[in-house]
Amino acid sequence: MIGIHSLTKTFKTATDTVRAVDGVDLQVKEKEFFVLLGLSGSGKTTLLRCVAGLEKPESGEISLGEQIVSSAERGIFIPPEDRAIGMVFQSYAVWPHMTVFQNVAFPLTDGKRRLPRSKVQERVVAALELVQLSAVADRPVPFLSGGQQQRVALARALAVEPRVLLMDEPLSNLDARLREEVREEIRGLAKKLGITVLYVTHDQVEAMALADRIAVMSEGKILQIGAPQVLYHFPLNQSVGEFLGSMNEFAGTVQNESCVKTDLGMVHCAVPNGAPTEVIVAIRPEDLCLSCDPSGSNNEFPARLISQLFLGDITVYYLSANEKKMRGKTTQVDRQLKTGSRVYVRFPAEKLKIFPR
């Protein structure tokens, strides 16, 4: 549905040229919820704006369905209003002097694709019902909560019946509880309506909760594309692993295909073919195994429990082993694990990740 080939977009400063998007290739399937994930400055929003037609790439090609909407080589550039897209911005971009109904109706009454009044009424009512705002259609937008204003922006994007819905950090201004609620609504609506969605966020939890597939971006490039579970458990490199969640990391030296020497001791695991001698051994906090007594298994090391933090659904353990700090997470509280006591931490071999150092 969205095809991006060798796309490059640069910005010039007084002293330098920045490649915000650097030769990106990407295919988003029809009806897919696709998320661009990365830190600020990674190029994800610039890429989204290129798809929207708000930025003009220097090279490469963008297609929406069968239509090429941007091609520097062929001299094609279709303006945003002719791309049949809907867009939801981080700042909501609602008009404070209008009612909810007027905000949603605006692109249908004043845009390039104007509709008859009866059709506008039908589209707006349907869009407001989708986002559960029918009861406040006549209310001025400033009288709404942040979550309701974001729903207005979403309804306005849906009212034009877009081929593609583009969303740029739409939940970042909401508090944590409301963000989770609206996130579920957006995912449900996208699947119900069968819309193709390209969504930008810097929040890995948000990305994993929403996406069918995620593209992790850094410095204008895509590092890895895959389903959330694949990226989380099988990252191709250290950067992708860290984007998707915290990891305990230890410098190591490969001894053979199944053994790495670290400051903690010898770690037994499968070393990937072609791995360099100097590596990073990494493991997610929830994959650590903690106990008060040694089991005698491989990859088990003595440690000290520095502190523990109860967060309701999980407990986080802060540990120190041979002056190396690490964290463990568990959903079950072990009351035998006492702060300041000696414990044993074990790394299951199948949970370890090996990256070049």
Which pLDDT tens digit goes with each residue over 264-310? 999 999 999 989 999 999 999 999 999 999 988 999 999 999 999 98
125 — pLDDT class (breaks 50, 70, 90) = very high
Closest by CA position to 314, among listed 330, 326, 328: 330
Q: How far apart are CA 100 and CA 30, in angstroms?
A: 30
Query: Torsions phi, psi of 242, nearest 5?
Result: -75, -30
Residue 180: the pLDDT is: 86
335 — pLDDT class (breaks 50, 70, 90) = confident
Residue 129 near residue 79, CB atoms below 8 Å: no
Query: Torsions phi, psi of 143, nearest 5?
Result: -85, 5
92 — pLDDT class (breaks 50, 70, 90) = confident
Q: Which residues contact 207 (CB under 8 A, 6 or more apart)?
A: 35, 37, 201, 214, 228
Residue 241: the pLDDT is: 93
**Average pLDDT score over the chain:** 92
Residue 147: the pLDDT is: 85
Q: Which residues contact 286 (CB under 8 A, 6 or more apart)?
A: 314, 328, 329, 330
Residues found in the chain: 357
Q: Do β-strands 248-256 and 259-262 pair in parallel, antiparallel, or remain unpaired?
A: antiparallel
Averaged pLDDT for residues 59-79: 96
More confident of the two residues 16 and 45: 45
8 — pLDDT class (breaks 50, 70, 90) = very high
Q: What is each CA distance from 156 to 8, 87, 126, in whole angstroms?
A: 30, 9, 11
Query: Torsions phi, psi of 181, nearest 5?
Result: -65, -50
Q: In what order do the strands lie in the sheet with 266-268?
A: 266-268, 259-262, 248-256, 278-283, 353-356
Place of tokens 């830190």: 39
State the angle between helix axes of 146-159 and 117-130 in degrees (0 to 180), rounded to the nearest 10. Answer: 130
Averaged pLDDT for residues 145-157: 89
Alpha helices in the chain (DSSP H): 44-52, 100-109, 117-130, 146-159, 176-193, 204-210, 228-233, 238-243
Q: Is the predicted pLDDT of residue 150 greater than 90, yes or no?
A: no
Residue 126: the pLDDT is: 93
Q: What is each CA distance from 138 to 130, 144, 262, 300, in whole angstroms?
A: 16, 11, 65, 64
Structure tokens, 200: 């930008």
Residue 332: the pLDDT is: 79
Residue 93: the pLDDT is: 82
SS3 of residue 146 by DSSP: helix
Closest by CA position to 5, among listed 58, 56, 62: 62
Averaged pLDDT for residues 93-113: 88
**Residue 257 burial by CB count (10 A; 0-12/13-18/19+): exposed, middle or buried?**
exposed
Residue 110: the pLDDT is: 82
Q: Which residues contact 301 (CB under 8 A, 6 or more apart)?
A: 264, 265, 321, 322, 344, 345, 346
Percent of the chain with pLDDT over 70: 100
Residue 195 near residue 165, CB atoms below 8 Å: yes
Q: Is the predicted pLDDT of residue 334 greater than 80, yes or no?
A: no
Q: How far apart are CA 26 and CA 28, in angstroms?
A: 7
Residue 54 near residue 80, CB atoms below 8 Å: yes
Place of tokens 């204003």: 149
Residue 178: the pLDDT is: 81
